[in-house]
Amino acid sequence: MKLNRDMNILIVGLGLLGGSYAMSLTRQGYHVKAITRSHASVEYAIDEGLVEYATNEVEAQLVGEADIVVFALYPHVFKEWVAEYQKYFKSGAVITDVTGVKSCIVYDIQSMLRDDVEFIAAHPMAGREKSGVQNCDDSIFKGANYVVVLTDKNTQGAIELCKSIGEVLGFARISELSPEEHDKIIAFVSQLTHCIAIALMTCQTTPHLEEYTGDSFRDLTRIARLNDDMWSELFLLNKDALISEMELFEGELDKLKTLLIEGDREGLREMMRYSTARRAVFDKPKD
């Protein structure tokens, strides 16, 4: 079962990601409706034609008509929503999400969920340093990675459907991970990098530093602009994995420092050659 234009898609939470999903799917002729908390987001989504319909209320009929529900909410809000409103889901509906952490979410949702509805988690690895539906942009998916996060409760039909959403949105690579694998990798590639950007930005208060920076400093700190409400929740929900990746990274930085202290030029060059060779693997497919 792949995504098709007869299906009713409901997006819950029109932020940057929910809005970008809506923009992409609506532009491609899919039927997209939305529920979101803020009046301004409802108005914006309707004015910009991102959705066929949007509301602030959790309308039983609207939820009950949806074949697919995409949750783009903060983790704790997502859980509360499902607990309270799952009674409205259509029998046979598939629900998915965009949440940045998985172990703390997926099992809880799957165990509380009605037997006739399936939850299959996904993580679209795309974003911007600005939040909110007003900054949505469906081009962020181009060349990006999309991860389907599976447990043994998931069925082949739902896996295929969830992957086809990633394909329709334009992701370049679609892969599968368990919740535990996902959280360990995310701690490294996403959460650790945000920690580094924050620390770079807060550790120096030299005035006029911006007059002396090049692109390297700008690149490493682009993501130092973040939504503190969301990211603090994501960090704490994945705390153990994140702390262990921070320690791994600090250990490697210490290796580099030791080579410097010892004046070991060949050792430095070897690390640099390895990092240069390995970095080539990480270019976006379109690069």
Window 107-146: residues binding a second copy (CB under 8 A): 125-127, 144-145
| Both structure tokens of 216 | 């390297």
> 121: how many CB neighbours lie within 10 A of its CB?
25
What distance in Å separates the CA atoms of residue 99 and residue 78, rounded to the nearest whole number?
9
For a second copy, the closer CB: 112 or 200: 200
Contact status: 269 vs a second copy (CB under 8 A): yes
User: Is residue 188 at the binding interface for a second copy, with CB under 8 A as the rule?
Assistant: yes
Least Å distance, CB 73 to a second copy, is 18
CA 263 to chain CA centroid, nearest Å = 42
Distance of closest approach, residue 251 Cβ to a second copy, in angstroms: 7
Binding map of a second copy across residues 67-106, x = CB under 8 A, - = no contact: ----------------------------------------
Q: Give the Cα separation of 213 and 191 in Å (integer).
A: 24
In whole angstroms, the minimum distance from the beta carbon of 99 to a second copy comes to 14
Q: Per CB under 8 A, does 56 bind a second copy?
A: no
CB 147 within 8 A of CB 176: yes
Is residue 180 near a second copy by the rule CB under 8 A? no
Which range touches a second copy (CB under 8 A), out of 16-24, 39-47, 79-87, 174-182?
174-182
By C-alpha distance, which of 108, 60, 53 is closest to 86? 60
- Answer yes or no whether residue 39 interacts with a second copy by CB under 8 A: no
How many residues of this chain interact with a second copy, rule: CB under 8 A? 90
Residue 3 CB, shortest distance to a second copy, in Å, is 21
Could you tell me the two tokens for 189?
Answer: 């590639």
Closer Cβ to a second copy, 118 or 183, answer by number = 183
Task: Calculate the CA dihedral of residues 166, 10, 118, 77 and round it to 10 degrees.
Answer: 100
Site for a second copy in 224-243 (CB under 8 A): 224-226, 228-229, 231-233, 235-236, 239, 242-243
Our finding on whether 175 is near a second copy (CB under 8 A) is: yes
Helix (H, G, I), strand (E, B) or coil at 88: helix
Count of other CB atoms within 10 angstroms of residue 241: 21
State in angstroms the smallest separation of the CB of 200 from a second copy.
7
- Per CB under 8 A, does 41 bind a second copy? no
Among 68, 121, 261, 286, binds a second copy (CB under 8 A): 261
Q: Which is nearer to a second copy, 90 or 142 (CB)?
A: 142
**54/150 with CB nearer a second copy:** 150
Rounded to whole angstroms, the Cα distance separating 5 from 25 reads: 9
Contact predicate 33/8, CB 8 Å: yes
Q: Which two tokens stand for residue 235?
A: 């960090």
Minimum CB distance to a second copy, residue 107 (Å): 20
SS3 273: helix
Token digits for 103? 């172990």
Q: Cα–Cα distance between 3 and 157 in angstroms, integer? A: 11
